[in-house]
Structure 1
């Protein structure tokens, strides 16, 4: 990967993170819907694993959001 590709990737990542923080409620709703559909399709067989995955995804999003806030304060 060339230097320009790395710069472009960083810029695109920043845009995605900004969009994610601006649309947090929609992302949460989407994760809940996806988990519900997956649970429905598996007839509840993997409910605990699906819930764990959804919860970890939300926690990760929370951590990243907090990191962004901290980085914004330091700048």
Structure 2
């Protein structure tokens, strides 16, 4: 009996896809907190949040900024 990593990966991807809105809200809150504690690095924090949101969008199958659909996950 072993771990089925493909099944685990698919379950994690489904959970992220189903809760992407909540995750994005959490990212925004975390960014606000980080900005309040670490001054002078707002652009780096914002950049990290945008990269995380782009990743979530690709995982959820949302078009990117260019309007292109990401490749479908198998």
After superposition, the CA RMSD in angstroms is 1.9
Displaced runs of 4+ in structure 1, greater than 3 A?
Answer: none
TM-score by length of 1: 0.74
Query: Which structure 2 residues correspond to residues 1-75 of structure 1 after superposition, within 5 A?
Result: 4-5=2-3, 8-43=4-39, 45-66=40-61, 70-71=72-73
Structure ranking higher on relative contact order (CA contacts 8 Å, 6+ apart): 2
Q: Which runs of 5+ in 1 are unaligned?
A: none
Rg bigger for which structure?
1
Q: Which has the higher helix share?
A: 1
